[in-house]
Amino acid sequence: MTVSIRQFDDGAWIHVADSRAVGAGEVRRVTDHDFCPCTVGHVLVEAFVDVGVAGHDVRARVAGQCIDCGTDGVLDWLTFGRVDGGTFRPVSTDAVQQVG
Amino acid sequence: MPSDVERWKEEVYGVEIRDHLERFAEEGWDAIPDDEHDEWFERFKWWGLYHQRKGQESYFMMRIGTPNGVLEPGQMRVVGEIADEYARGPASNPEFGETWADFTTRQSIQLHWIKVEDVPDIFDKLDDAGLSTMQACGDSWRNIVGCPVAGKDKNEVVDALDVTLDLHDAFKGNEEHTNLPRKWKVSVTGCREGCGQGDINDLAFEPATKEIDGETVEGFNVRVGGGLARKEPRFARNVDVFVRPDRVGPVAGAISALFRDYGDRDNRFNARIKFLVDEWGPEKVRRVLQEEYVDWELETAGDDLRSEYTYNAGTHGGHADHVGVHEQNDGNYYVGLDVLVGRMGVDDVIELADVADEYGSGEIRLTQRQNAIITDVPEEDLDALLDEPLLEDYSPDPHPFMRGSIACTGTEFCSLSIVETKNRQVRYGRWLRDNVDVPDGVQDFHIHLSGCTASCAQPQIADVSLRGMKTRKDGEPVEAFDIGLGGGLGENPEFADWVAMRVPADEVPGAIANLLSTFEERREGDETFRDFCRRRDEDELAELVEPEETSYEDPFMHNTKMTWYPYAEDDDLDASPAPTRADGTPAGSD
Ligand code: HEM
Ligand code: SF4
Ligand SMILES: [Zn+2]
């Protein structure tokens, strides 16, 4: 079964199977990134610019801003969840994630 | 590769969407196939319906486009009646009750909590009243804006209202222009003050005169490619074209067709015409327009009146907004009422319609500052009108901080928002009124608050600009604002400088209080706030903003985005009743 995955409402959402899976407005913790000087960047997601898949992973590039240092820009591909047997499992916002 | 949205538009778009809406209404919410939600919700926008945010599935925001903000006699009552009957959701708002109308920064009206099942009845009522939601959202000609007192203004050079209404008639439902790469925002200004805000629209007609064959002709200069969204604000650029009033339609159609054909359909983030103007430059826009889209010689630009613009220009006197009592060109008066953050409870909407009937012609107009105007009041009836109780809440002589407040929709309903907006701005306004001295001579102080970078509240053109953000306070993520200073329109419009970033929402009123006391202390003579800001560079401006906790209390510091409705008793997403059926019972239950 194929599941549609796309950004929607001009970047407000990642939709999986025509329903809202991940929304803008949350803070993501990222490491191994060149987005900003912080070891762990805390990037507020302002909009999903690009959405794609890698295997079962749902990934996106987001426009955002680090709420600690203020750097803004577009973050490299980050995983936001997995599609398992048609069900979407989001990555928790508590997770510290590697970028790229 | 064309985007998904372009693919869907290719299949079904424009007027025909209404047939599908009526079918879904007949069969109910569940009839919209689960795997077609995205395409239908994208299309519904064209008919003015925007699916509300997470936790509010099956409820829609409905936007009614009122060209130039004009509501003919009787229309506001119909809006009030529709709001009363259909715009009620499963929860109420602590400031505004269960149902209301929002007057927007593009002179339109928004209702919330609309069910698809009710749409045909609502459309029938709107049709009967001569109102419509057509193209209110979506990729097409949006509501056309202008000076809200066009046709009645003493300072009008060209009567812009007829021009606007002709454009509205020509381009609503016009198949040649229903499917554009992106939204298309048009402004027509005919007055000397520049109240049409042309500079921030995709296409602007601005008053001008030109010598043609020895005769002075009145008409419009054309600007293209303004817009505030994202972190890419642009003022519309002069494409060196003058048009006579009777040629506005053909020229507007030609530019819209140019955008239709050359706008970027592969990347929606690059689709607005402002980016095409960036790429081409105004000279090429003019050349392509001349060579490919018109079959007569375009006139070069005439003499504009921009040096006279006072609207939101940060000058003393003039027309900073349309609040207050003003004489019309026919000897009657218009009375502009301050509608704080543009939201009016439903009983007040109906009362407004009654009052306009009783004292004026019944016509009501909406401004781009989210306010309402009662027009055509004879001089002898002014006193009685001013004594009406409604005008205590919606004052023609409001406190400067209330008068200057604008706020967008925010996390209450909007998917993009980072923060709560309208209720917070109401609280900011009250606190400032009660705690901060108004600097000498300041009649209105513009504070525009937007929940995100889409900039629906037009934050970049305010004295104080607030844009939703997050920050960390005592270790916890909280709602916050970036603060900008010194923006505004006028002859030389300027975007605010963003000088203080990520200020916790509860420290913003303190920051504004400190800013204003420093302004009062250091201003030269009676210089305006805009001039005061202009004399300072970004670093100097940044020093003026000192965020501080005060007696102001903010009930929305937590993540309102993560609630299903920020003011619900149990606001947890899991507590949401949505999606629901027509009768409000949860869909999917038996
Ligand atoms: C359900 C609530 C709303 C949603 C989901 C929404 C959605 C959006 C989106 C997605 C954008 C960005 C579009 C872009 O990239 O250019 C935008 C921009 C804008 N919207 Fe809204 N909006 C909502 C309410 C409003 C309200 C209340 C207003 C006020 C009249 C408004 C007027 C505007 C304006 C003026 C812009 C800026 C566009 C520009 O000048 O470039 N919208 N809105
Ligand atoms: S500015 Fe952002 S948060 Fe506010 S209504 Fe527009 S899209 Fe929503
Ligand atoms: Zn950082």
ipTM: 0.94
Q: Which CATH superfamily is domain B403-558 in?
A: Sulfite Reductase Hemoprotein, domain 1 (3.30.413.10)
Structure tokens at B144: 């056309």
Q: Which of B452, B454, B472 sits opposite A68 (nearest CB)?
A: B472
Concatenated DSSP letters of B424-440: HHHHHHHHHHHH-PPPT
If pLDDT is split at 50, 70 and 90, which confidence band does B1 have? Answer: confident
Say yes or no: do domains B4-129 and B403-558 share a fold: no
Give residue A42's domain range. 5-98
Q: Do A18 and B37 touch (CB under 8 A)?
A: yes
Would strands B109-115 and B100-103 be described as parallel, antiparallel, or unpaired? antiparallel
pLDDT in tens, B432-476: 999 999 999 898 899 999 999 999 999 999 999 999 999 999 988
Q: What percent of chain A has pLDDT over 70?
A: 99
**B416 in contact with A, Cβ within 8 Å:** yes
Q: What percent of chain B has pLDDT over 90?
A: 94
With contacts defined as CB-CB under 8 Å, which chain A residues touch B268?
10
Q: Which of A6, A49, A72 sits opposite B4 (nearest CB)?
A: A6
Cα–Cα distance between B408 and B467 in angstroms, integer? Answer: 10
Q: Do B4 and A27 touch (CB under 8 A)?
A: no
Q: Do A17 and B415 touch (CB under 8 A)?
A: no
Tell whether ligand 2 has an atom less than 6 A from the beta carbon of residue B52: no
Atom of ligand 2 nearest to the CA of B410: 3
Concatenated DSSP letters of B389-403: THHHHS-SS--HHHH
pLDDT in tens, A22-41: 999 999 999 999 999 999 99
Q: Which of A12, A19, A67 sits opposite B416 (nearest CB)?
A: A12
Could you tell me which residue, B590 or B79, shows the higher pLDDT?
B79
CB under 6 Å to ligand 1: residues? Answer: A 9-10; B 50, 61, 104-106, 110, 200, 227-230, 272, 408-409, 413-416, 454-456
Protein residue closest via CA to atom 2 of ligand 2 = B452
pLDDT in tens, B367-425: 999 999 999 999 999 999 999 999 999 999 999 999 999 999 999 999 999 999 999 99
Among the residue ranges B187-191, B218-222, B242-246, B472-476, the one predicted with the least confidence is B472-476
B345 forms beta bridges with B100
Tell whether ligand 2 has an atom less than 6 A from the beta carbon of residue B469: no
Among the residue ranges B46-55, B124-133, B312-321, the one predicted with the least confidence is B312-321
Shortest CA distance to A64 belongs to which of A8, A33, A26?
A: A26
Residue holding tokens 């000192």?
B546
Q: Which of B419, B453, B455 to mutate to test the pocket of ligand 2 (most atoms within 8 A of CB)?
A: B455
**Fold type of domain B4-129:** Sulfite Reductase Hemoprotein; domain 2 (3.90.480)
Are B46 and B18 within 8 A, CB to CB? no
Shortest CA distance to B503 belongs to which of B461, B435, B436, B550?
A: B550
Residue A50 sits at φ, ψ, to 5 deg, of -150, 135
Give the residue on A whose Cα is nearest the Cα of B51.
A9
Are B146 and B68 within 8 A, CB to CB? yes
Cα–Cα distance between B24 and B518 in angstroms, integer? Answer: 58
Domain parsing of chain B, residue ranges: 4-129, 150-308, 403-558
Query: Looking at residue B445, what is its pLDDT?
Result: 93
Q: Do B469 and A44 touch (CB under 8 A)?
A: yes
Q: Summarize the confidence of residues B240-253 as an average pLDDT.
A: 97
- Return the biggest CA–CA distance within chain A: 43
Could you tell me which residue, B587 or A17, shows the higher pLDDT?
A17
pLDDT in tens, B25-39: 999 999 999 999 999
Cα–Cα distance between B495 and B484 in angstroms, integer? Answer: 9
pLDDT in tens, B304-363: 999 999 999 999 877 889 999 999 999 999 999 999 999 999 999 999 999 999 999 999
Cα–Cα distance between A40 and B549 in angstroms, integer? Answer: 28
Tell whether ligand 2 has an atom less than 6 A from the beta carbon of residue B17: no
Would strands B203-212 and B186-188 be described as parallel, antiparallel, or unpaired? parallel
Q: Summarize the confidence of residues B106-132 as an average pLDDT.
A: 98
Q: Which of B38, B415, B470 sits opposite A67 (nearest CB)?
A: B470
Q: Do B416 and A42 touch (CB under 8 A)?
A: no
Cα–Cα distance between B254 and B196 in angstroms, integer? Answer: 21
Ligand 1 center to B455 CA (angstroms)? 7
Beta-sheet strand order (sheet of A13-16) = A5-8, A13-16, A19-23
Are B392 and B432 within 8 A, CB to CB? no
Tell whether ligand 2 has an atom less than 6 A from the beta carbon of residue B410: yes
Are B441 and B455 within 8 A, CB to CB? no
Q: Which of residues 243-302 of B touch A (CB under 8 A)?
A: 268-269
Does the structure show a pLDDT above 80 at B63? yes
Tell whether ligand 2 has an atom less than 6 A from the beta carbon of residue B408: yes
Give the pTM. Answer: 0.96
CB pairs under 8 A between A and B: 72
What kind of architecture, by CATH, is found in domain B150-308?
A: 2-Layer Sandwich (3.30)
Shortest CA distance to B202 belongs to which of B109, B285, B320?
A: B285
Atom of ligand 1 nearest to the CA of B233: 41
Does the structure show a pLDDT above 80 at A58? yes
Protein residue closest via CA to atom 6 of ligand 2 = B456
- Give the Cβ contact number of residue B73 at 10 Å: 15
Count of domains observed in chain A:
1
Q: Summarize the confidence of residues B524-543 as an average pLDDT.
A: 95
Are B54 and B579 within 8 A, CB to CB? no
Per-chain mean pLDDT for chain B: 96
The residue among B409, B412, B420, B471 with the most chain A CBs within 10 A of its CB, best to mutate, is B471
Q: Please give the C-alpha separations between residue B429 and each of B373, B457, B526, in angstroms, as whole numbers.
A: 21, 15, 24
Query: Looking at residue A1, what is its pLDDT?
Result: 55
